[in-house]
Amino acid sequence: MLAPVDTTVTDPVLGLVLEGRYRLEERIARGGMSTVYAATDLRLHREVAVKVMVEHLARDPAFVDRFIREARAAAMLSHPNVVGVSDQGSDQGLVYLVMELVRGRTLRDLLQARGRLTVGEAFAVLEPVLAGLTAAHRAGIVHRDIKPENVLISTTGQVKVADFGLARAVAGTGHTSHTGGVLIGTVAYLSPEQLERGRSDARSDVYAAGVVLYELLTGHPPYAGDTPLAVAYQHVHHDVPAPSLETPSVPWQVDELVGRTTRRDPGARPLDAGAFLAEIEDLRRDLGLGRTPVPTGRASTATTTLRPVNRATAARAAEDPRTEVISPHRPAGRTAMVPLPPTGAVGARRPPTHPTAPRPMPRGGVPDHIRRRRIRFGVTIVLLLAVTIGAVGWWLGSGRWTDVPAVSGQGQQQAIGFLQEAGLDPVVTEVFSEDVAAGTVISADPTDGARIIIGSDVALSVSKGPERFTVDGALVGQPADTVQAAIEGLGADLQVARSTGRSDDVAEGSVMAIDPAPGTELRRGDTVTIQVSEGAANVAVPDLVGSDPDDAQAALEALGFDVDRAEGRSDDVRTGQVSAVTPDGTQAFGTTITLTVSVGPVQVTVPNVVGQSKDAAVAALEAAGLEVSVTQFFGDTVLRQTPAANEVVDPGTSVTILVTFG
């Protein structure tokens, strides 16, 4: 419980800025576990509430875990009747969570100011509380600590449920268990199943809300006692009385509603807060009650409202002046206590003692009725001590120990159910396994059969099935370094190898293929080969005719071609220059290109002109591109020619013919 603070005390935390964002400006409430500050969110420029765990508890992992659990449980909910949680963290040695700031007062403050509420006002307060709990129950969360201190009423009349510090998510069978072998909560509002077995579900919140409804109508909780154990005994062994016994104006239908929601058997209560809310709405219609504004207690009152006093407590105070009267309006502290044994004789709440006529004084000066009352009181104390010692002894002995059920090889939900039935808290961690099917428990820690304290955590390793990874097909075409980084970034210890190739479609340096193909399931440590493009696969052969052979060869090799040389004759290209490039056009990378180097013009074959007339011979030789030299001795017939017929000579070579008589 958080109580109002003395603003005259200097708080060294005031003025601190947590995580460079939340400036603590005003201490507004303080409790045993935490202190709440009004703060400013410097990033979003808004007011927030920051709950800071007290320093000595911040060193206890169990309390820090509970504190974080509150943040996570509340953060799962988004409802106008639940105090929103927006952040959680630790800074400068402080563990904190950031909540919505609600300016107003608690329901406890309202009851202290008003004493009790009318039926319409009680419904107006309880309906939004149940609406917020309905959202929690539908999200699988049980609050486990519903009480007036955890209900906030803003100055505008908006009602919000706060403090999910004891909340637990429902798993498996829908039950939750107590924490660390002890029961934590406010005993005045705990259900019998929480007190006896340390178990709770949505119906436990329904019970607490029913007790709150009783308190709204009467001004005090249904049970009071000198010790928390005495109050707990009454919850376990007595039905909550009808509110009309304290407030006669309460209709009998409301008495029945309180009775149904506070049955000792959870199965006889409404299933969850939503069912409780539906019953209130039906009852409102049956009673013809209109909507009543939520009382804020801010309006000034001309008269003082007397607070009702629990009759049983007042009676005991009257009987024994040494007994301190426990005010029903004093907030009940959060109490740690061992679970009660199923049975036991503990003095129940006695009806009020009515005044009687004076009795005669016996000898010795002590009236008989006082002596009998002292004897009864002494017997009650002895029985209470015996039950307490027995319960503590049983709990410290065998009562708080249990065996870990055999859960290895079971399905996850079945294993969770077995553990919760044994009073243990399952903590599930999912891991990959090549041998165990997905959803099956691989192992438990502590192991099956181990003897541990009830309420302890049991770590379950649950298989997620074989671990597989896939490479995204969108990586093809991206730069090789980018692809390699993406594959290695999968966190699968994949090995990346490279090969090269050529592609007309993929730029040089980019990945043109991945092996195994993208989308293939890979195991951890597998090798993935990426093929990196070295450029285009087909290249155009340039026109190098007439160029220097060495320059032409260098140009072709730069394009990735292999080069051969040959000699040839050309009438068009000078000797020593490239006269032909074959093949030409567009060729595949690495093709062999032949450079033909000119060794001179094309040669001609000397025609045979022997026996021809001089004129015919000259004409034939000149037609072949040859020069003609004539030596003539009488006659007109060619007797001999030099060079001889059919010799191959350069164009323009001089051929000498001897002309004489035929």
Q: What is the pLDDT of residues 56-101, one digit of tens each?
A: 777 778 778 777 776 777 777 889 999 988 888 889 889 898 999 9
Type and span of the H or E element at 608: none
Reported confidence tier of residue 368, pLDDT bands at 50, 70, 90:
low
Average pLDDT over residues 510-528: 92
**Is 90 exceeded by the pLDDT of residue 152?**
yes
For residue 175, the cross-strand partners are: 171
Average pLDDT over residues 542-551: 91
Give, as one character, the DSSP assignment of residue 395.
I
Give, as one character, the DSSP assignment of residue 34.
E
Positive or negative, the CA dihedral 224, 226, 230, 232 is positive
Average pLDDT over residues 453-467: 90
Q: At 518, is the secondary structure helix, strand, or coil? A: coil
Give the alpha-carbon dihedral of 150, 175, 420, 162, to 10 degrees: -20
pLDDT of residue 532: 94
For residue 462, the cross-strand partners are: 430, 441
Residue 176 and residue 199 in contact, taking contact as beta carbons nearer than 8 Å: yes
Type and span of the H or E element at 372: helix 368-394
Distance CA 640, CA 637 (A): 9
pLDDT of residue 178: 42
Where, residue-wise, is CATH 1.10.510.10 in the chain?
105-298+309-337
> Measured in Å, how far apart are the chain's first and last C-alpha atoms?
148
pLDDT of residue 317: 33
Distance CA 194, CA 176 (A): 9
Give pLDDT tens digits for 191-214. Answer: 998 888 878 889 999 999 999 999
**Is 70 exceeded by the pLDDT of residue 265?**
yes
Give the alpha-carbon dihedral of 429, 431, 436, 437, to 10 degrees: 80
For residues 215 and 195, the model is more confident at 215
Give, as one character, the DSSP assignment of residue 625.
T
For residues 590 and 530, the model is more confident at 530
Distance CA 459, CA 220 (A): 43
Average pLDDT over residues 545-570: 90
**Is 70 exceeded by the pLDDT of residue 266?**
yes
Average pLDDT over residues 419-434: 88
Taking domain 538-598, whether its CATH number is 3.30.10.20 is answered by yes
Average pLDDT over residues 306-331: 34
Average pLDDT over residues 103-124: 92
User: 361: exposed, middle or buried (C-beta count within 10 Å: 0-12, 13-18, 19+)?
Assistant: exposed
Positive or negative, the CA dihedral 521, 526, 528, 529 is negative
Lowest mean pLDDT among 139-143, 316-320, 498-502: 316-320
Number of DSSP helices (H) and strands (E) in the chain, helices first: 14, 32
Tell me the whole-structure pTM to 2 decimals: 0.47
Three-class DSSP labels, 149-180: HHEEEECCCCEEECCCCCCEECECCCEECCEC
**Is 60 exceeded by the pLDDT of residue 369?**
no
Q: 105-298+309-337, what's its fold?
A: Transferase(Phosphotransferase); domain 1 (1.10.510)
Strands 527-533 and 495-501: parallel
CATH number of 473-533: 3.30.10.20
Average pLDDT over residues 244-268: 94
Residue 348 and residue 384 in contact, taking contact as beta carbons nearer than 8 Å: no
Q: 604-660, what's its fold?
A: Trypsin Inhibitor V; Chain A (3.30.10)
Rg (CA), the chain: 51
CATH number of 401-463: 3.30.10.20
Return all residues near 625 (Cβ < 8 A) that are at least 6 apart.
604, 651, 652
In the chain, the percentage of residues whose pLDDT exceeds 70 is: 82
Catalytic annotation, residues: 145
Distance CA 395, CA 192 (A): 18
Three-class DSSP labels, 333-350: CCEEECCCCCCCCCCCCC
pLDDT of residue 65: 78
Residue 483 and residue 435 in contact, taking contact as beta carbons nearer than 8 Å: no
pLDDT of residue 260: 95
Where, residue-wise, is CATH 3.30.10.20 in the chain?
401-463, 473-533, 538-598, 604-660
360 upstream amide cis, omega within 30 of 0: no
Return all residues near 74 (Cβ < 8 A) that are at least 6 apart.
82, 83, 84, 85, 99, 164, 167
Give pLDDT tens digits for 524-536. Answer: 889 999 999 988 8
Lowest mean pLDDT among 113-127, 167-181, 511-525, 530-544: 167-181
Q: At 232, is the secondary structure helix, strand, or coil? A: helix
Reported confidence tier of residue 393, pLDDT bands at 50, 70, 90:
low
In the chain, the percentage of residues whose pLDDT exceeds 90 is: 40
Distance CA 126, CA 121 (A): 9
**Is 50 exceeded by the pLDDT of residue 405?**
yes
Q: At 45, is the secondary structure helix, strand, or coil? A: coil
Average pLDDT over residues 545-551: 91
Average pLDDT over residues 389-399: 63
For residue 155 the two structure tokens come to 């100055």
For residue 470 the two structure tokens come to 């896939």
Average pLDDT over residues 469-483: 92
Tokens 């409102």 locate to 284
Q: At 132, is the secondary structure helix, strand, or coil? A: helix
CATH number of 2-99: 3.30.200.20
pLDDT of residue 462: 94
**Is 60 exceeded by the pLDDT of residue 171?**
no
pLDDT of residue 4: 52
Reported confidence tier of residue 351, pLDDT bands at 50, 70, 90:
very low
pLDDT of residue 42: 93
If one counts every other C-beta atom within 10 angstroms of the C-beta of residue 508, the result is 11
Among candidate residues 218, 272, 225, the one with its CA nearest the CA of residue 241 = 218
pLDDT of residue 70: 66
Where, residue-wise, is CATH 3.30.200.20 in the chain?
2-99
Reported confidence tier of residue 398, pLDDT bands at 50, 70, 90:
low
Q: Highest mean pLDDT range out of 76-80, 338-342, 528-532, 543-547?
A: 528-532
